[in-house]
Amino acid sequence: MIILGLPDIHGSWKKLNKLTNQIAVADLVLLLGDITNFGHKPEMESIVSWVKEINAHCLAVPGNCDHAETEEVLDAMDVNLNGRHKIINNLAFLGLGASLATPFKGTPFEVSETYLEQKLENAINELDPAYPKILVSHQPPYNTTADAVNDDLHVGSHSVRSFIKTHQPMLCFTGHIHEGRGIDSIGKTRIINPSPVYQGYYAHAEIEDSAIKVLEIRSINE
């Protein structure tokens, strides 16, 4: 199973158009939040519709730079994963949108740790624990390469980290922290933040027999 993780598109049609071939051949495309750049419903619908025309197998979570109302678009298009799970190819995909407060004077969809914790509980509620899990989270977990603004400052979520430590999904796709490019681990969970699509990067994973065979950060310009 080939999975693409596309974080922080920020409305960049230039970069999206360069991903057409990769999107077309993937088994699943994950839109990891900040799909628009402070956009409302029309912008969200435009981007998600374009992706789904190329590949119908798409799931999404909103980011802090997507207005909260855009969740209605994701619901209407049957791709919203925020606070819920979906089973695809015997893998459970669990979603978490929005982010903690940022230093950018209040982006549209900022929430508390309590919100994140509750959404994660909702996502795993009634899920058969036998399913291998993949977490799709705009907000990265605390204290990994994925949430590092610099060597001394980590700005991730303690709730997300706690959830990962407790439930040990095989993989966590994340974004949000543009500086946090890298692949890390929490226990058995691999964490990948490729940094933003609009800067020219995305995540590529290949899952076979419930195991990660390939996990890479790729350049859109390659």
CA distances to 57, 88, 213 from 188, in Å? 27, 21, 14
Q: What is the pLDDT of residues 164-214, one digit of tens each?
A: 999 999 999 999 999 999 999 999 999 999 999 999 999 999 999 999 999
Q: What is the pLDDT of residues 109-148, one digit of tens each?
A: 999 999 999 999 999 999 999 999 999 999 999 999 999 9
Predicted TM-score (pTM) of this structure: 0.97
For residue 197, what pLDDT is reported?
98
The domains found in the chain, sorted by start residue, are 2-219 (3.60.21.10)
Helices (H), ranges, the chain: 13-17, 20-25, 41-54, 71-76, 113-124, 158-167
Tokens of 185: 């681990």
Distant-in-sequence, close-in-space partners of 217: CB < 8 Å, separation ≥ 6: 181, 182, 183, 192, 194, 195, 201, 202, 203, 204
Torsion of CA 114, 136, 12, 4, to 10 degrees: 170
pLDDT band at 12 (very low <50, low <70, confident <90, very high): very high
Q: What percentage of the chain carries pLDDT values higher than 90? A: 96
Q: What percentage of the chain carries pLDDT values higher than 70? A: 100
Angle 158-167/113-124 helices, nearest 10 degrees? 30
The Cα–Cα gap between 117 and 26 comes to 30
Distant-in-sequence, close-in-space partners of 206: CB < 8 Å, separation ≥ 6: 1, 2, 3, 212, 213, 214, 215
The Cα–Cα gap between 33 and 10 comes to 9
